[in-house]
Amino acid sequence: MKRVAIIGAGGFAREVAWLISDINAVTPAIDLVCHLVSDLDHATGPHTGGMVIHDFSWLEENQSKVDGLVMGIGTPSTKFRLVTELRSRFPEKTWPNLIHPSVLFDAGSTRFGMGVVLCAGSIATVNTFFDDFAMVNLKCTIGHESTIGPYSVLNPTVNISGNVTLGEQVLVGTGAQALQNLRIGSRATIGAGSVVTKDVPDGLTVAGVPAKPLHKT
């Protein structure tokens, strides 16, 4: 059994705990030791499995109790910040991939970095690539030759068509869709329910059908 700590204890972190229990129901593989929360974060809600420890330095004194870390935070920029800090402080810890048993993908052509989380009901077809710390929430589809870039997040029920490349730290809101052959730039945000029909430049927020740059009134 690999002993892991989930980073975070909020809503998504508790969903990751559920994901681990579903993986273990098929093949017992992961022992959830605890949730680790930075002393600046405020966890809310009941947690499932493992105690909540409000200080990363706990890991310095308890190195032998944890083999790997799993990211339980769904905001790309926060993920990037915390993973960078934790990899620097604890370089020997591994970042296992967590793939729900219901996820469908072509085992022969799908590629994975590390720390990838794929939640229940998602489907990736052929020649897809999930780069380091990519996260795909419930019931998403990812078409052929598509890449989900480092630290990028697909919220539930997103549809990514074929040959779409997401850069680093992209956030795709719930139910959004991207048409085929597009590039979505690093740190871009796609609003919930949007349909992306054109390339999106780095750092831009787009929303609507078709998706356009978001102008606040």
Ligand X SMILES: CC(C)(COP(=O)(O)OP(=O)(O)OC[C@H]1O[C@@H](n2cnc3c(N)ncnc32)[C@H](O)[C@@H]1OP(=O)(O)O)[C@@H](O)C(=O)NCCC(=O)NCCS
Largest CA distance in the chain: 53
Q: Which residue is nearest to ligand X (CB)?
A: 191
Cβ atoms 214, 207 nearer than 8 A = yes
> Least Å distance between CB 76 and ligand X?
12
Render 45-98 in DSSP notation, one character per residue. S---SSEEES-THHHHHTGGG-SEEEE----HHHHHHHHHHHHHH-TT-B---E
Contacts with ligand X by CB under 6 A lie at: 155-156, 173-174, 189, 191-194, 205, 207-208, 214, 216-217
Query: Nearer Cβ to ligand X, position 164 or 188?
Result: 188
> Least Å distance between CB 172 and ligand X?
8
> Least Å distance between CB 21 and ligand X?
20
> Least Å distance between CB 7 and ligand X?
18
Q: What are the φ and ψ backbone dihedral angles of 57, each rounded to 5 degrees?
A: -65, -15
User: In whole angstroms, what is the distance from residue 55 CA to residue 134 CA?
Assistant: 25
User: In whole angstroms, what is the distance from residue 157 CA to residue 136 CA?
Assistant: 9
Looking up tokens 């706990």 gives: 58
Query: Nearer Cβ to ligand X, position 124 or 190?
Result: 190
**What tokens appear for 191 in the block?**
């609003």
User: In whole angstroms, what is the distance from residue 72 CA to residue 78 CA?
Assistant: 11
> Least Å distance between CB 98 and ligand X?
17
Nearby residues of 212 by Cβ (< 8 Å), 6 or more positions away? 206
Query: Nearer Cβ to ligand X, position 155 or 177?
Result: 155
The counts of H helices and E strands in the chain are 3, 22
